[in-house]
Amino acid sequence: MTTTRTGYAVRPLEGHVDVLIVGVGISGIGMAHHLQERRPGTSFAMVEARTAIGGTWDLFTYPGIRSDSDLHTFGYEFKPWTSKNAIADAAEILDYLHEVIEDDGLAPRIHLAHRVVRADFDTTRARWDVVIEHDGVERTVTCRLLFGATGYYDYEQAHAPDFPGSEEFGGRIVHPQFWPDDLDVTGRQVVVIGSGATAVTLIPALAPDAAHVTMLQRSPSYVMPLPKQDPIANGLSRLLPERTAYRLTRRLNIGRQRLIYRASQRYPRQVRRLVRSLNVKALPEGYDVDTHFNPTYDPWDQRLCVVPDGDLFAAISSGRASVVTDHIARFTEDGIELVSGRHLPADVIVTATGLKLLPLGGIALSVDGEPADLSSSVVYKSCMLSGLPNLAFAFGYTNASWTLKVDLVCEFVCRLLAYMEEHGHDIVTPVLDDTAMETRPMLDFPAGYILRAVADFPRQGTSGPWTVEMDYRTDHARLRRGPVPDPALRFATASGGLPAADRDLVR
């Protein structure tokens, strides 16, 4: 048994559990809490391919890494966020996750450096045979229900376009997903390629040390300044008990998120003008806002980028950072040549060009030995897949805080397990009877990183439980308040019983 840098033991998982959680990030930890709270008799284990917990918040180490949602909604419903910072950096978020693990005593359930390679569901035994690679050895463990808390992008690969001339560049090219510990930008010319959340985070973080930082974008994104500290939340926390203040703040912020999104969809021109006016106010007089901060698409057709306390605009106003909107012709030995003919000098080029998506962590799934094609499956209530028994997963919102949906999904899975136990069912499978139903992409969101991979993901239907909702109130009614039994769910009993030993807790 070895120990990781975060203090959790790395020990092989063996035997059988009722629920196997794949991923120990914000979704997996949330599922573990709900199982322990709502299903105390249910055995479960958590496996993580990496050697640390935290998922996104441990993987990304680039300067300034932080949330782009407020932590009163990005945090769990069951665990108050007590920091004064509503927009928090990765270190604060990791501390919060470690607190949940400690509060719930989850450490013994966690098995790091365990990569799930493939899983086959055996309908005669009503269990998954899950092949896990650990320390160079593949072992098979079994579970009744497999829960994917893997996020949606590839941790080992990122989207890295092939820029002409990149081999000629004499400086250093870095992707934010693999930020090197030894990179020092002090006194250097830095160009960050991209205009999304990562780019707008990096610019103000690098600007104080670099000679100059340039954000090079093909087209602008919407950038919204928000206070890093929420005055309403912090005021309520001084006046009310901790949990009451958190509950009220969370409810207010959920309402605000829904209001902004719905207003953006219904009144895009007015919201565009509002965001533009905030940008004009935050930038130097005469700044070309319409070139650099006026997207061609409507607000919330893609995700808005949040900048806490307007730090990006402050970096631009100070002269230590700038924005260039142009196309890359090629890299040169000492910078980037643009289509316009302009040359950007650079010692360091950061390619904040996006993520590479990966459904369910790349696990190869099969049922009774027959490979499952995820891209032909249809999502049931945002958390299960047609034709795949005893499988659930967490996938958060693209237009609001991810964790809002995670809490609801985890509650639903616990209710589903309770219903199956009460009625003597071993197997549950979503079945789409209406084969004529039209389908559309599960991720119906036109961001570039999604469009590049959407064909590999499951699809969603157009009605009933087969839609993937991006609205908390709708999901609240569907997942928390709605009934578990559903004509689309097929319940069954295994033809062979589970051996008694398989019900033992993992030691």
- Tens digit of pLDDT for each residue in 149-205? 999 888 888 888 889 999 999 999 999 999 999 999 999 999 999 999 999 999 999
Q: Which residues pair with 331 in a beta bridge?
A: 336
Which pLDDT belongs to residue 82? 96
Which pLDDT belongs to residue 9? 67
The full length of the chain comes to 507
CA 211, 217, 218 angle in degrees (round to 5)?
150
Cα 401 from Cα 411, distance rounded (Å)? 17
Distance of CA 143 to the CA centre of its chain: 25
DSSP strand pairing (440-441 vs 44-47): unpaired
Query: Which of 200, 198, 152, 195 has the alpha carbon at shortest distance from 175?
Result: 198
Q: What's the per-residue H, E or C state across 182-209?
A: CCCCCCCEEEEECCCHHHHHHHHHHCCC
Cα 289 from Cα 279, distance rounded (Å)? 7
Cβ–Cβ < 8 Å for 148, 391: yes
Distance of CA 431 to the CA centre of its chain: 27
Per-residue pLDDT of the chain (507 residues; tens, 9 = 90+): 444 445 676 778 999 999 999 999 999 999 999 999 999 999 999 999 999 999 999 999 999 999 989 999 999 999 999 999 999 999 999 999 999 999 999 999 999 999 999 999 999 999 999 999 999 999 999 999 999 999 988 888 888 888 999 999 999 999 999 999 999 999 999 999 999 999 999 999 999 999 999 999 999 999 999 999 999 999 999 999 999 999 999 999 999 999 999 999 999 999 999 999 999 999 999 999 999 999 999 998 888 899 999 999 999 999 999 999 999 999 999 999 999 999 999 999 999 998 888 999 999 999 999 999 999 999 999 999 999 999 999 999 988 999 999 999 999 999 999 999 999 999 999 999 998 999 999 887 777 777 777 888 999 999 999 999 999 999 999 999 999 999 999 999 987 443 443 333 222
Q: What is the pTM of this model?
A: 0.94
Cα 432 from Cα 398, distance rounded (Å)? 25
Which pLDDT belongs to residue 6? 53
- Token look-up 């990966």 returns 358
Cβ–Cβ < 8 Å for 53, 46: no
- Residue 36 φ then ψ, to 5°: -65, -35
- Which residues lie below 8 Å from residue 296, measured CB to CB, with a gap of 6+? 219
DSSP strand pairing (137-148 vs 16-22): parallel
Cα 507 from Cα 45, distance rounded (Å)? 10
Which pLDDT belongs to residue 259? 94
Cβ–Cβ < 8 Å for 141, 132: yes
Give the SS3 label for residue 421: helix
Cβ–Cβ < 8 Å for 246, 76: no
Residue 320, CA distances (Å) to 55, 186, 314, 326, 454 in order: 32, 12, 9, 20, 38
Pair of tokens at residue 27:
């979704």
Cα 321 from Cα 211, distance rounded (Å)? 9
Cα 485 from Cα 483, distance rounded (Å)? 6
Helix axes 242-266, 231-239, angle to 10 degrees: 160
Cα 31 from Cα 355, distance rounded (Å)? 25
DSSP letter (8 states) at residue 404:
H
